[in-house]
Each structure stands twice: as C-alpha cells, then as structure tokens.
C-alpha cells in the first residue's frame, strides 16, 4: 500500500523554512512508527511525503502538519494506452452496471493532458458496462500521475492539519485535568508548539494520579516527536496561606496570580517564553477582562497564551470528545478548595498587590524548588506517598536544614538534611515518614526513596500541620 501524506500550511513557507518543517515532520512520523510499532519506508517529496507500507493505521490522522492522507495503489505505465489498460483491469468489475466518474491530476512531461487521460480511461470503462456520471457517481476513479507512476486513489482521509509538532518553540501548559486545559494544549500542539506541562496539585495523590493518566493518553496519541516534561507543584500550602490572611472575595484572583508567578519561574528555568491556560472569556469570575488584566500583570518575562479565549463550554467539550479526552477529564474531580460565595469580578490591581503583602514571602520559592518532574510515560506509584497520621512503628525523619527549623519546633527520630538524604542508608524493613515545614520537599524525598525500595511516606501538610494536629492536644 502507498500512503501519501499531503501538507497543511507548509506551502506558505519559504524554501528554507519548508525544508526544515518537512525534516521535523519526518522525525515526528518516525517517532509515531516507533510508538505504534508500525513499519514503513518514508520518501520525502517537495509537496508531500510518500510511505510504502503493508497496511494503514489511523495514528496518521493524529500527526500534526498533515492535511490529507491518501491511500493508493501505485502502478507504473509506459504511455496512455498502457495506463488505461491497467486501470481497466483494476476497475472493470467495480464499475459494471454502476455509474462512475474519472478524475486525473498530472505532474511531469507526457504526450497527453489530464482531460485526455480522463476521456480515454472513461471510454475503456464504458465498454465494461459502466455509465458516466460526473455529478454524483457510485464510484470515483481518481488518479494522480507523476512522471511514469500513477497512484490510483482508494481512500482520502482528513488529517489533523496545523503545523508539525515542535516547529514553533516551547510552551508550558498549565494543566488541571479538566476539559479546558487539555483542549488548550491540543490546540497549541496543532499550531506546532513543543509542549511541557505544569500541574498544581490541590487534591493530593488521587488528583495527581488522574492528571497523569490524562497526560499519558495525550502524549501517546498526539505528541509524536517531542519529549514533554510534567512539573508537579503542590499548591496546598499556598491555598492554606491565602485562606488564612486574604479576604474571601479575593481568594480566586490571588490564587491565580500565585499560579502564574510559579509558572513564570518554572518557565524561566526551562528557557520557555510562554505559558498556556484553558481560560475562556467570562466563563468564571476569574476570567472577566478585569480579572485577566490583574492576573496577567504579575507576569514579567513570559507571555500567557489562551487558545480558548473565544470558545464556549459546549465547543470545548465537543473538541474534548473528538480527541478522546472527554471521558478521562469527566472523571477528574474539581479540586477548588478556595472558591468563595461572592468572588470579586472587577478586582483593583493595587488592592491585590497590597493584600499580597500579607502572604508568606518565601512560600512561592519553596513550592518551585520542591517541584517534582516526571517524563514520559508519566507513570506514578500506585500507593499514596502521603500520610496524615504517624504510622505505628514508623521512624519520623526531619529533613530541614538549621535555617528551616527556626521558630518551628519538631521532635524527630532522625535528623537528615535534604542534601544528605541520598547518602544515608535506609533499612528496607522499616517505615520512614519524612517531614519538612510544608510537606513539599518530603514528597520529593519519599518518591525518590520509593524507587529504591524504601518504605517511605511524606507527612501531608508538613510539620506545620503536624503541630496543629498533635501539639494542640498536649
């Protein structure tokens, strides 16, 4: 079988850019072959890519940069007489007692034109009891001729369109697991962006597990040719801090600004110049124009792209159904632990800035430094690494350095600073619970040690929560 991949927007590019894009598209196709365990020979043409393979699989329809997929049989011919003879042999039985039409596209030097080829092939098939109908025939006989090769088209399939993945630079997609953010990521991928993801964990291990399942599906089915990273930031300490010191009507706006502040720091670390969100104008209180202005003002060195800004919910959900993420997103719980009854819809920037002075100043840097990075296939431990109780017989380990202990007392069985954890020999038959002030760094430690076979947990909420739960009862 011959599979002809026709380009989407590459014809609008200069020769130099087109060549680079085609080379990237080929790399993406090769990655798709590897992921899908598919074998085929790839031939690059100036206006298409031709693949010789034993069969066809629908993953071609998910490769960005391909406008149309043509399934064809290739025949070689000497002249028009030879061509119509071979076409007749293929279509004689198919057109018998049916209507048909012939369409020929031609490239190269021949002693006939496309109209002559259509007419001569049509005459041959009429002799086989077919009847010509060029408006709405039962069968179309379509040929694309290139020099002495004729491609007899069996089927034409719509491709994903857009630009080849990885041609437009890197972006950081803020992902929640719901319908909107993954559809926004899909639309950015369609425009050729090289995606990585940032997930703000609000629901603990169960939330993380659901989101990694969604991203894993998206990576397997659409992200051919790139190696995205998933950055996980535990936002629960930030939420708790906001609830303690900020008036409830401003909770949502300030939380979004803190998310953007964290996203900018992560993006800068990775040399990324844009973040992507699934926000749609007017959908919720934090997505009014006034709110978006106040939220965006915290960004200094990256831009925020919102591909869904003009979409309504129904349109977004329709895309999620089309790309297969609907059922996964539908099962992701809404972790909005900070939604007030009367949120502000026209926030004042200066008031927001003044309110933020009450927040713990170093918390954002702690969240960024304690982020966890996952790479494909984005598989996490099945067992929850967090615990909110001290397990019987477990060993409490304080991983703070001396500066982190100031003003926050805690009695531990072991004191091992974070930078010395990897050099410590933990016993495999014992249970260790790791503590830091907010429970962020301890998650990272527990994940690392789990991979080494150590029974490791992180105390949910850290020493601050532990002291509230246990010290207040003493």
Give the angle subtended at the CA of 158 by the CAs of 157 and 163, to the nearest 5°.
135
- Alpha carbons 201 and 197: distance in angstroms, whole number: 13
Q: Per-residue b/e over 401-413, b at no fewer than 16 CB within 10 Å?
A: eeebeeeeebebe
Read off the tokens for 336: 């909005």
Residue 210 φ then ψ, to 5°: -65, -40
- 340 exposed, middle or buried (CB, 10 Å; 0-12, 13-18, 19+)? middle
Q: How many residues make up the chain in this entry?
A: 474
Helix, strand, coil percent values for the chain (each to nearest 5): 40, 20, 35
Exactly one of 173, 233, 304, 436 is catalytic; name it. 436
* Consecutive H or E run containing 154: strand 149-158
Residue 74 φ then ψ, to 5°: -100, 130
- Cα dist. 382→114, 220, 455 in Å? 62, 20, 13
Catalytic-residue membership of 304: no
Residue with tokens 């198919």: 94
Neighbours of 299 (CB within 10 A): 17
Strand partners, 155: 71
3-state secondary structure at position 178: coil
Residue positions annotated with a catalytic role? 436
């Amino acid at each position: 079988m011959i599979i002809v991949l026709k380009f989407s927007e590459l014809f609008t590019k200069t020769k130099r850019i087109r060549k680079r894009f085609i080379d990237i598209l080929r790399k993406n196709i090769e990655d798709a072959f590897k992921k899908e365990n598919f074998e085929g020979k790839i031939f690059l043409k100036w206006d298409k890519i031709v693949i010789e393979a034993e069969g066809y699989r629908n993953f071609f329809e998910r490769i960005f940069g391909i406008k149309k997929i043509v399934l064809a049989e290739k025949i070689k011919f000497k002249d028009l007489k030879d061509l119509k003879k071979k076409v007749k042999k293929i279509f004689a039985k198919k057109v018998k007692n049916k209507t048909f039409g012939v369409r020929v596209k031609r490239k190269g030097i021949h002693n006939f034109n496309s109209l002559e080829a259509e007419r001569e092939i049509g005459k041959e098939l009429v002799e086989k009891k077919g009847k010509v109908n060029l408006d709405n025939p039962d069968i179309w006989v379509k040929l694309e001729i290139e020099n002495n090769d004729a491609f007899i088209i069996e089927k034409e399939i719509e491709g994903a369109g857009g630009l080849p993945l990885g041609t437009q630079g890197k972006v950081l997609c803020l992902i929640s697991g719901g319908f909107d953010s993954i559809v926004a990521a899909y639309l950015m991928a369609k425009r050729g962006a090289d995606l990585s993801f940032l997930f703000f964990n609000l629901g603990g291990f169960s939330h993380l597990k659901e989101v990694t399942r969604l991203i894993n599906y998206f990576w397997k089915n659409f992200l051919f040719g790139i190696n995205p990273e998933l950055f996980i930031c535990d936002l629960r300490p930030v939420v708790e801090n906001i609830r303690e010191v900020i008036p409830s009507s401003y909770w949502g706006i300030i939380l979004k600004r803190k998310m953007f502040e964290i996203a900018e720091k992560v993006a800068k670390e990775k040399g990324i110049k844009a973040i992507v969100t699934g926000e749609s104008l007017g959908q919720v209180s934090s997505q009014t124009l006034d709110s978006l202005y106040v939220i965006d003002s915290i960004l200094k060195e990256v831009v925020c792209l919102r591909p869904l800004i003009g979409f309504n919910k129904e349109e977004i959900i329709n895309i999620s159904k089309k790309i297969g993420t609907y059922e996964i997103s539908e099962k992701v719980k809404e972790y909005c632990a900070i939604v007030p009854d009367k949120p502000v819809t026209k926030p004042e920037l200066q008031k927001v800035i003044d309110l933020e002075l009450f927040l713990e100043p170093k918390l954002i840097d702690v969240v960024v430094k304690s982020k966890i990075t996952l790479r494909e296939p984005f598989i996490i431990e099945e067992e929850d690494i967090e615990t909110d109780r001290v397990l019987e017989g477990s060993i409490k380990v304080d991983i703070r350095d001396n500066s982190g202990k100031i003003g926050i007392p805690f009695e531990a069985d072991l004191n091992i600073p974070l930078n010395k954890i990897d050099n410590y020999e933990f016993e495999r038959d014992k249970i260790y619970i790791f503590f830091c002030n907010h429970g962020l760094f301890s998650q990272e430690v527990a994940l690392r040690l789990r991979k080494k076979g150590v029974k490791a947990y992180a105390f949910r909420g850290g020493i601050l929560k532990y002291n509230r739960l246990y010290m207040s009862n003493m």
